[in-house]
Chains A and B, each alone.
Chain A
Amino acid sequence: MNKWLFLLFVTSIAFAGEPSPDRKSTLRNLLKQDCGACHGLTLKGGMGPALLPEVLAGKSDELLISTILEGRQGTAMPPWRPFINHDEAAWLLGILRKP
């Protein structure tokens, strides 16, 4: 098999859709601790705004996922792309949206 195809195959399995249970617990910890540093442990806000379901309700997945991955220029929201991929950001957003 072509080496590149193989690699592509492996990475797409590893990255597609739901994160693995292990990765989920890392992400949950990240959300609570590291996102929580700015958004509050209970996500009710701090230096950054609250990330509660009612606050996010009117905003599209696309906008919020890109906020998480790219950050927002000119604000304190940093880009998390070096540590989180698109599917993981989508999964995190799913958690944020759940009441």
Chain B
Amino acid sequence: MKKLFTLLSLLLSFHAFADLRATGDLGIVIEREDGNALIINTTEHKRLSKIEKLGDLSHASVVFSRDQRYAYIFGRDGGLSKIDMLKDAIVKRIIQAGNSIGGAISQDGKLIAVSNYTPGGIKVFSSDTLELVADIPSDYGKGLRSKVVGLVDAPGQLFVFSLFDAGEIWLADFKNPKAPVIKKFPNIGKQPYDALMSPDGHYYIAGLFGEPGLALLDLWNLEAGVKHILSEYGKDDEKLPVYKMPHLEGWAIAGDYLFAPAIGQHKVLVINKNTWELHDTIAVVGQPVFVMARPDARQVWVNFAFPDNNQMQIIDVKDLSLRKTLTPGKAVLHMEFTPRGEQVWIALRDDNQLVIYDTETLQEVTRLPANKPNGIFFSSRAHKIGL
């Protein structure tokens, strides 16, 4: 009897513990076709729950509240969903536009901005209530509205974003959320398709699809305007077809170098961060999509567009050499490093799996099922500028 009692109390106390959940090692995995988000534990390699009915998540991204309790999911269909990762529940869900591409959270965590294709522009919401705070249409003359891409947060309660059709970069200062101040940089180059913020919040860099090179904005020196870098690179080379647009969210800044995907060439560009000139190029197997640095920046991991999307390549930053080519499975869509980078999670859309690698040995650790996964986002993003 006594034994039974101890067993019972043990079970009960276990249960009490199980109810507690710290959010620092949680993450969200998007299942693109089902419109689901999985909440996962990155330490235990476990799926904890599934949040359903989040709409069209074929191009979804996620930001986290600074207390790491809430995840905000931006869907393709203009949906913005606030998820409570402690309660496995949707707190609120709104449809704020017809077609969206991504979002950002402000420096103070109080504002959520969404970048929209149709109607073009950004909308800014209270992170608490998801009530509209500001609506900034991307008008660029003659009644035209541009698709908005590359939306990120920056120090000083700023949101920075690019206008794909207009070729402009806009900076919105939300120190007073009721009266945001917009500064526009026109003529930054043709068709900026995505952008990134350097991890220190110093530089905003947009990739250009319509012409060679990148557009660089130094946030410490706005008067200097936008500088066009690498404009000569690949100007006369034949462009290979691009079957998927690269993503710059995870552009890698490692040491003195910025690693970026070339467009229409099977190369990773290595740019000197002091001179903004091309330092080197690294030949890879396909059109790079994500070029992401491990948090310690010793390695850069690259995945590829169709038809080379079954492979990944790892660059050793020490000597800018290719360390290894991995074939994790079918349709590698996204990757996410654990906060200090000992492991990386990879989404395999056509294998319906997540695979986890040890980044030191480059050996597989384990696999988890997920239906058509296309995005992996860990809560450690909550404390990173530009994510």
Partner of B306, one of A34, A41, A42: A34
The reply to whether A40 and B306 contact each other, CB–CB distance below 8 Å, is no
CB contact list, A52-85 vs B, under 8 A: 71, 74, 76, 78-79, 83
The reply to whether B76 and A41 contact each other, CB–CB distance below 8 Å, is yes
B245 within 8 A of A: yes
The reply to whether B243 and A42 contact each other, CB–CB distance below 8 Å, is no
CB contact list, B206-251 vs A, under 8 A: 209-210, 241-245
Partner of B58, one of A29, A42, A71: A42
What residues on A are CB-neighbors of B349 within 8 Å?
Answer: 33
What residues on A are CB-neighbors of B164 within 8 Å?
Answer: 47
Count of A interface residues, CB-CB < 8 Å = 20
Mark each residue of chain B from 65 to 86: 1 if its CB lies under 8 Å from any CB of chain A, else 0.
0000000000011000000000
Count of B interface residues, CB-CB < 8 Å = 27
A76 to B264 alpha-carbon distance, docked (Å) = 10
B73 to chain A, nearest CB (A): 15
A78 to B244 alpha-carbon distance, docked (Å) = 9
CB nearest neighbor in B for A71: B241
A79 to B242 alpha-carbon distance, docked (Å) = 9
What residues on B are CB-neighbors of A46 within 8 Å?
Answer: 58-59, 76, 99, 101, 117
The reply to whether B117 and A45 contact each other, CB–CB distance below 8 Å, is yes
Partner of B245, one of A33, A40, A76: A76
Q: In the complex, given contacts A37-B58, A44-B99, what are 9 additional A-B residue pairs having Cβ atoms less than 8 angstroms apart?
A: A29-B350, A34-B243, A40-B59, A40-B76, A41-B76, A42-B56, A46-B99, A47-B147, A78-B242
* B residues apposed to A, CB below 8 Å: 32-33, 56, 58-59, 76-77, 99, 101, 117-118, 147, 164, 193, 209-210, 241-245, 306-307, 331, 349-350, 372
